[in-house]
Amino acid sequence: MTSKLPLVPPLTRRQVLQAMGTGAAVLVLPGCRSHFAAPGAPPPSFFTATERLQLAALADYVLPPDDAPGGAALGAVPYIEKLLSCLEHPEPQIFLGGPYSGRVPFAASNGLPTTIYPANDYLNYEPPGRLALKAWQLYLLGSDGVGGAPNDAVLGKVVGLRDQLRNGLQDAAAKSQRPLEQLDYAGLGELWPKLDKAFADVLIGLVSQAAFGMPEYGGNPNGAGWAMVRYEGDILPLGFSFIDPASGLPHDNPRSPTSVAQPGPDPEPLSQASRDFLRTVFIALGGQEFP
């Protein structure tokens, strides 16, 4: 099933944060059956209002808003906040359940979608287990937050993710000539190389997870991130192949095949700018360009 979700209309950073403040964090796309969970009670929070604005600004440098949503509109802030608060629930909200989200139907005998959907297992969370729970406590809260870690004396204390992000934001704000949320893309681009490298790497990773991970984790509202990069999302139980009842053998999903070219033109071909960048990378690796 190719993704038919239209691109989310571009929003400003302030519009996104206003929507979050009212609990209306889900962007419902017109004309599309929504399988995405509506928000419930306000989640546990961690950031201050200023920190959210700063984080949104930096997320919009990682994925700048243009004709497609930026990092903030793709849910970077709620994703990160939900991650940092995932242990503050009766059942830790670390791992979504499985196997199915309930977004995608079962396949018919011809491989096309039916109207029969599986139950939504993503409403539940899988338990972390003894070791995983201890690991996540250390990961989020650091050595100081758990009363010390076994290797503090040998390797130094573990700085929890909460402190990494808070400290990183403070550092970024201190290095900026103006409040972060007032910087345009060029201004953020001047600031970015000055950021603590470890913080910058964590940020890129988290913004990416927010944009392209399961929406139930707090980002990728209504699959907007998937739509932007033309990714089908969680494809099961429909799948990219099915068993033909006549032959008993596997066949391609007729709309999203595995073994043959995707029908239709390339929706976003390789640009000259990308080609030039790839040339630089591959030549630097000692590789080759073929005519």
Partner 1 sequence: MSSSAPVGNTALTRFDVCIIGSGAGGGSAAYVLTKAGKKVLVLEGGPNRFDALGDPQQQPISRFSPDEVKLAYRNFIYPDPVADPRTWRSSASAGDRTFVGDVNGLAKTVGGGAVHADLKMPRFMPQDFTLGTDLHNKPAGTSFVDWPVTYDMLEAFYSYAETVIGVQGTPGADPFEGYRSKPLPMPPGLPMYVAVKASQGLSKLGYHPFPYPSAINSVAYDGRPACQDCGLCSGYGCPTNAKGSPAVTTLRKALLSGNCLLLPETKVVKLLMNSAKDTVTGVEAIDPAGNRQRYAADQYVLAASPIEDARLLLLSDPGGNGIGNSSDQVGRNLTFHLHNDALGIFEERMHGHRGRTVTHAFTDFRGTPNDPDHPLGGICEISGSLGPVGEADYLRRVFDVFGFNGARFKRLLREAVIRERVMIFAMVGEDAPQPTNRVDLDPAVRDIDGIPVPRVTYQSHAWELAARDFYKPKMIAALGAAGARFAALSPAGDIPTTSHIMGTLRMGNDPRQSVCDSTGRFHDVGNLYNADGALFPTSSGFNPTMTIMALAMRVAAGMAYPGAPERALS
- The residues in 36-75 that bind partner 1, with binding defined as CB under 8 A, are 60-64, 66, 68
Q: Supply φ then ψ for residue 145, to 5 degrees.
A: -80, -15
Which of 25-33, 35-43, 131-139, 173-181 is the region at the interface with partner 1 (rule: CB under 8 A)? 131-139
248 binds partner 1 (CB under 8 A): yes
2 binds partner 1 (CB under 8 A): no
List own/partner pairs for 132-140 with CB under 8 A and 24 or more apart. 132/94, 133/92, 136/86, 136/87, 136/92, 136/94, 137/87, 140/84, 140/86, 140/87
Side chain identity at 204, as an amino acid letter?
I
Distance (Å, whole) CA 125 – CA 94: 7
275 binds partner 1 (CB under 8 A): yes
- The residues in 202-231 that bind partner 1, with binding defined as CB under 8 A, are 204-205, 208-209, 211-214, 217, 225-226, 228-231
- Interface pick for partner 1 out of 98, 179, 254, 263 (rule CB under 8 A): 98
9 binds partner 1 (CB under 8 A): no
117 binds partner 1 (CB under 8 A): no
Which of 21-29, 38-46, 123-131, 165-173 is the region at the interface with partner 1 (rule: CB under 8 A)? 123-131
Residue (23 or 205) nearer to partner 1, CB: 205
Side chain identity at 65, as an amino acid letter?
P
We find the least distance from the C-beta atom of residue 169 to partner 1, in angstroms, to be 17
Label residue 287 left, alpha or beta by phi (over 0 means left) and psi (-120 to 50 means alpha).
beta
Structure tokens at 187: 């201004």
Element (H, E) at 251: strand 250-252
- Interface pick for partner 1 out of 9, 23, 99, 148 (rule CB under 8 A): 99
